[in-house]
Structure 1
Amino acid sequence: MSASPALALSKQLCFAVYSTSHAFTRAYRALLDPLGLTYPQYLVLLVLWETDGLRVKEIGAKLFLDSGTLTPLLKRLESLGYVRRVRDPSDERQVTILLTPAGQALERKAATVPEDMSCMAQIEEAEMVALIERLNRLRGSLQGACGEALEPA
């Protein structure tokens, strides 16, 4: 049985992105295990290292995660001593996430992760920047086609 050439797995951009995502996750595991972090926890910390004191909803928007996915990550990071959750006294539903001193110190320990990943991926900085820009445009196009927000908040 012959499939249409357009339906060949090797021709699917979605599969190339999907399988590359899995390869990234496995590669990050080797870099993050010594820090005691999972890849999703690392992403949350990247957001907070860039801008500490964000509300849960803001972190979720930046990472394209809903609160049902994000809350367990934040609870685990809190139990590890890297963040603390502070409820807004005027609106108990609003929770701000703050890095602890241990969470701030972890940033220094994780400082080599991006460079180590670039070496593992065997990609030059200019190529990486161009690829990130292209993938961000692609994501924006797909989100626009689906009626979703074009950029994280």
Structure 2
Amino acid sequence: MGEAEATVQMPAGTATRAIRHVLQVGDAARQSYARRLGVGRSDYLALAHIYYEGPTQPRDLGARLAMGSGTLTPLLDRLEQHGYAARTPHPLDRRRLLIVLTPQGQAAMDAAFAEFDGIVTEALEAVGLSGGLGRFTSLLDQLSDAIAERIVSREQEKGSTSGGGHGREDGNHLGQNHPSGTENPSER
């Protein structure tokens, strides 16, 4: 990158607009996969959380999706009716339940995510980005972590005590694990 290129000032909000566009594309992809599975968007988000996090207690899933038990119970009923998830006894405490993907649910999510990885790989090639999917996802993880660190740092510097406003649309928040399974730096 040349010196002139490095000093070009972009209009305020350029990064926000680009990230917003990526989130919109991701949301459209989730909606498409949800339709194909015959479930709603929230149902698909629940399946994705279980897929990435493994067996999950209902209260934890509800917290991730910002849903109370009155909303979560019918969602879990739908996932069970479709054969994608099941409620099973917790292995250490029979009073608790775990939500697990069924083999059908695992296969459906494997297929959806494999297809999306293929689409992203094709898009990377189409726009001339080298290094493949692994390099791209590593860069996104590093960038997400670096942005999260700076947001947390700015909040601490400014003495922010408000708890809201920084949640991601998928229910994750700064300082929580992201889908790659790696730890966010603010958890350390």
Pairs aligned (count): 141
Q: 1:32 deviation in Å?
A: 5.0
1:116 Cα deviation from its structure 2 partner: 2.6
Unpaired runs of at least 5, structure 2: 1-10, 164-173, 178-186
Aligned match of 1:56: 58
Sequence identity (%): 21
Cα-to-partner distance string for 1:40-92 (whole Å, 9 max, x where unaligned): 5444333333453221344456xx4323397254343233221123476765x
CA distance in 2, matches of 1:95, 1:67: 17
| Cα distance in 2 between the residues matched to 1:76 and 1:102 | 14
Equivalent residues of 1:56, 1:67 under 8 A apart? no
Seen in structure 2, the aligned counterparts of structure 1 residues 105 and 127 have a Cα distance that, compared at 3 Å, is closer
The 8 Å contact of residues 57 and 99 in structure 2, kept in 1 or not, is answered as: yes
Aligned pair 1:35/2:37, yes or no? yes
Highest relative contact order (Cα 8 Å, sep 6+), 1 or 2?
A: 1
Contact 1:54–1:96 under 8 Å retained in 2 = yes
Q: Which amino acid aligns with 1:49?
A: Y
**Inter-partner Cα distance in structure 2 for 1:120 and 1:24:** 16
Give the 3-state SS of the residue equivalent to 1:54 in structure 2. Answer: coil
38 and 105 in structure 1: CA distance in 2 versus 1, 3 angstrom threshold? same
Against the structure 1 CA distance between its residues 11 and 75, is the aligned structure 2 distance closer, same or farther, given a 3 Å change threshold? farther
Q: Which amino acid aligns with 2:151?
A: L
Specify which structure has the higher proportion of strand.
Answer: 1
Match of 2:86 in 1: 84
Higher radius of gyration, 1 or 2: 2
1:97 is paired with a residue whose SS is strand
Which one of 77, 93, 102 corresponds to residue 100 of structure 1?
Answer: 102
1:136 equivalent in alignment to 2:145: yes
Deviation at 1:31, TM superposition (A): 4.9
Give the TM-score of the pair, scaled to structure 2: 0.53
Q: TM-score, normalised by structure 1?
A: 0.62
Change (3 A) 1:33 1:24: same
Structure 1 residue ranges without an equivalent (≥5): 1-9
Structure 1 Cα separation of the partners of residues 86 and 57 of structure 2: 12
Between the aligned partners of 2:67 and 2:33, the Cα distance in structure 1 is 27
Structure 2 residue corresponding to 1:47, chosen from 46, 49, 52: 49
Q: CA, structure 1 residues 118+11, in 2 after alignment: closer, same or farther (shift >3 Å)?
A: same
Q: Which amino acid aligns with 1:25?
A: D
